[in-house]
Structure 1
Amino acid sequence: MKSFYIKIKSFFHSIEDNIAFYPALLSFLGFNFAMLMLYLEDKGISAFVIEHAPPLVINNADTAKTLLSFLTGGIISIMVFSFSMVMVLLNQASSNFSPRVLPGLISKRNHQYVLGMYLATILYNTFTLVGINPKETDKYQLPGFSVLIGIALTVLCFFSFLYFIHSISKSIQVNSILEGIYSKAKTRMIRLIEKEKKESPSFPDTSDWKEYGSKETGYLQTFAAANLINICKENDLQLKIIPIPGAFVLKEIPIIKASKAIDKELVEEILSNFNFAQGEIVDDNYALAFKQITEIGIKAMSPGINDPGTAINTIDYLTELFAIRLQKNDDTIITNEDKSLIYINTINFSELMYQVMVSYRTYCKHDMTCVQKLFIMIKYLLLQQTNNDHYHNSLISEAKYLYDDATANVENEEDKRRIEQLYKSLPNKRE
């Protein structure tokens, strides 16, 4: 039962970022609330309210139907406008920044709640209209209290629309996008670092372990770690997850290694705990944040946009993320009762640093402002404490690559002098 609950929780986590999830959920709640109110009307709730607070209840059927029809039409109009605005802004974000930032924008909870409020109110008002019989003349038979609630929900939708316009306009700004990506990656890395401080396990050599292929195709996002731990304990097993989280996995490509041969049923049970998606989610994989921020910076330096200021902003955010990454080990191992059970293959610091720097060196080596900012970033990172000296060696190597590319592409002697000065100012620089 616990295993089933963990799978459901993991599945819910994988679908809740879908733009239609919360609107559909709130629509369902709106329909059920309408059914509840119709039931309460049969029990005489409107008659009770009329007797104690008559000004709050509409007691004319034609007025109630006209008012609800008018308000429902208004909500449909602003909902269509809201969806249209979302599509336009998403297209703008894709063109100006990077298509990979779209999942983060789409999955914003507050926008989903607003759209869900629209749909829930439309359904509520529609089914409340069904409960109004224009031939009834007895004011106690009209669902006056339900109509009142429909009006209140509609007013709430109008205020939500104003908030939606403000929020969606703000969320499309580059600083807001960068801050969102940075915050998610920072939270994820700090959580992993805190876990590593409690555990410092080792893992055996896996070169002779048997490999088992994936049954699905997609981006490997998350896996139910608690379930895998239980499986390993019950079967005296150790596992290695081969693909880096966030990597695209093809069907039948090896995805796990097991410390001993296991039967087909156990393989299927293990693989059922892996979640795949057709997109990239920073909440599940901090390395995607480096990729997305880098792509925004490189896109800003394209000839069509030519915005060095945005590129410098991305370097600032990357500097802070790399400073946090210096505190994390390259190896990620899940333990239970001091026994290493699962090894997660992750991108190491040197490779992560190289992939980021090679992009900036390729597209920004001719721009002095960006080159200076990159040297400042490397200098800052070299001054940070780390439990792995190899990290600093990687930074020094990247500084040498940047120095070579920049001096080869800058013609002005003053610029070359400044680059030389920045390079020589780096601490612990290898000659």
Structure 2
Amino acid sequence: MKSLYNRFLSFINTIQGKIAFYPTLFGIVGFGFAMLMLYLEKIGISAFVIEHVPQLVINNADTAKTLLSFLTGGIISIMVFSFSMVMVLLNQASSNFSPRVLPGLISNRNHQFVLGIYLATILYNTFTLVGINPQENNKYQLPGFSVLIGIILTVVCLAAFLYFIHSISQAIQVNNILDGIYKKAKTRLEYLLEKESDEAVSFPDTSSWTSYYSTQTGYYQNIAVANLISICKEEKLQMKILIIQGMFVLEGVPIIQVSQKIDEALVKKILSNFNFAKGEFVEDNYTLAFKQITEIGIKAMSPGINDPGTAISSIDYLTELFALRLKKNDKTIITSNNKSFIAITTTNFKELVYQVMVSYRTYCKHDIICIQKLFIMFKYLLLQKAQLPEYHDVLLAEAKLLFEDAQQSIQNKTDLRRIETLYQTLSNP
């Protein structure tokens, strides 16, 4: 039961990233509200409002019908324009920054809410229009109050449209994209640091354990930790997760190792607690933020864009994220009552730094400004307290590689002396 509940929550989290999710919900609400208002009109709500505040109610069928038709057509035009702007935003973000930032932009809830308000108002006005009988002369039979609500919702749509224009113009700015990615990754890292125990937890050697294989294909997003711990306690076993979060897993590859042989039914029960998807989100996997920010910085250095300022900004955000990552252990072991049950394979610090720096060394080694910024990043990180002492050795090794590449790519002697001076200061940070 817990497994089904967890899978349901994972499904909800996945579809929330779809651009049509919230507009669909708002549309259903708009339709339901229209049905409710039609029912209230039958029991005389418009008659009640006319008796007390007649100035607010339209009592002419032709006027009400024309007004609602005009308002609905206008909202449809605004909605089409808004969708067009979303497509332009996504196209620009993909071309100028990185296709990896698209899921984050698509899942922007504020934009989805605005589109949802449009859709809900269109449905409400349409069904209210259906309830108007132009041959009925009795003003008390007209849905005057419903028409008033439609006018108010249209005004709300206009306000939402103004907000949408402002929001979309902000969302396309690279600094806001970088800041959004950074904040999501920072939140995720801080959460993992809170959950991480300060005490060293041992875990047995798994080389002789039995391996079991994936039955699905997709990006490994997360696991239902509570369910897996319950299974380990019930079956008196330990397990190691072999795949790294965010990794694309193919069917038939080793996915877990278990301390004892288990039957097929238990294997299926364990694997049902793994969540796979066809996309990735920074909220689930902080290493994706390093990848996205790096790609934005490297793309900015391409000849077609030639924007060193964005590359510098990307290094600034990476510096902050690396400083946080220095506080985290490379090994993640899930415990309960001081007993270890699950070992999770994670991207170690050495690999993370290498994957980021190999891109900058390849595409930015000729640019003295970026090289200087990278050395400043290394100097700052070497001043930070690290969870493991070898983290600083990793930084020094990567700085050496950067220095060697820069020496081969830069010919100006003055620039080379400046770089050498920066490199030498790393040994005495």
TM over 0.5: yes
Comparing 364-373 with 138-147, which one deviates more in the overlay?
138-147
How far 1:200 moved relative to its partner?
4.3
- 2:289 paired residue number: 289
- 2:138 paired residue number: 138
- 2:318 paired residue number: 318
CA distance in 2 between counterparts of 1:416 and 1:333 reads 45
Q: Label 1:40 to 1:200 Cα distance change in 2 as closer, same or farther (>3 A).
A: farther
CA distance in 2 between counterparts of 1:304 and 1:414 reads 28
- 1:192 paired residue number: 192
Give yes or no for the alignment of 1:60 onto 2:60.
yes
How far 1:162 moved relative to its partner?
0.9
Q: Label 1:200 to 1:35 Cα distance change in 2 as closer, same or farther (>3 A).
A: farther
CA distance in 2 between counterparts of 1:262 and 1:33 reads 53
- 1:280 paired residue number: 280
* Pairwise CA RMSD: 1.4
Classify the secondary structure of the residue corresponding to 1:420. helix
- 2:349 paired residue number: 349
Q: 1:14·1:275 contact (CA, 8 Å) conserved in 2?
A: no
- 1:211 paired residue number: 211
- 1:119 paired residue number: 119
- 2:268 paired residue number: 268
Q: Which amino acid aligns with 1:387?
A: Q
CA distance in 2 between counterparts of 1:104 and 1:243 reads 24
The CA deviation string for residues 152-198 of structure 1, in whole angstroms up to 9 with x for no partner, is 11111111011111101110110000000000000000110111146
CA distance in 2 between counterparts of 1:139 and 1:395 reads 79
CA distance in 1 between counterparts of 2:22 and 2:202 reads 42
Identity over aligned residues, as a percent? 72
Q: 1:242·1:256 contact (CA, 8 Å) conserved in 2?
A: yes
Q: Which amino acid aligns with 1:392?
A: H
Comparing 40-49 with 188-197, which one deviates more in the overlay?
40-49
The CA deviation string for residues 291-338 of structure 1, in whole angstroms up to 9 with x for no partner, is 000000000111111111110100000000000000000111222222
Q: 2:3·2:272 contact (CA, 8 Å) conserved in 1?
A: no
Give yes or no for the alignment of 1:372 onto 2:372.
yes
Instruction: Give matches, 1:291-306, under 5 Å.
Output: 291-306=291-306
Q: 2:3·2:273 contact (CA, 8 Å) conserved in 1?
A: no
Q: 1:6·1:226 contact (CA, 8 Å) conserved in 2?
A: no
TM value normalised by structure 2: 0.97
Classify the secondary structure of the residue corresponding to 2:256. strand
- 1:408 paired residue number: 408
Classify the secondary structure of the residue corresponding to 2:129. helix
Instruction: Give matches, 1:30-429, under 5 Å.
Output: 30-197=30-197, 200-427=200-427
The CA deviation string for residues 194-248 of structure 1, in whole angstroms up to 9 with x for no partner, is 1114664322222122222222211111222222222222222322221111110
Comparing 234-243 with 192-201, which one deviates more in the overlay?
192-201
The CA deviation string for residues 276-295 of structure 1, in whole angstroms up to 9 with x for no partner, is 22122100000000000000
CA distance in 2 between counterparts of 1:237 and 1:125 reads 60
CA distance in 2 between counterparts of 1:2 and 1:44 reads 48
Q: 2:364·2:371 contact (CA, 8 Å) conserved in 1?
A: yes
CA distance in 2 between counterparts of 1:345 and 1:107 reads 28
Comparing 256-265 with 314-323, which one deviates more in the overlay?
256-265
Q: Label 1:190 to 1:63 Cα distance change in 2 as closer, same or farther (>3 A).
A: same
Q: Which amino acid aligns with 1:380?
A: Y
Q: Which runs of 5+ in 1 are unaligned?
A: none
Classify the secondary structure of the residue corresponding to 2:203. coil
Q: Label 1:408 to 1:193 Cα distance change in 2 as closer, same or farther (>3 A).
A: same
Q: Which runs of 5+ in 2 are unaligned?
A: none
Q: 1:383·1:427 contact (CA, 8 Å) conserved in 2?
A: no
Equivalent residues, number: 429
Q: 1:229·1:341 contact (CA, 8 Å) conserved in 2?
A: yes
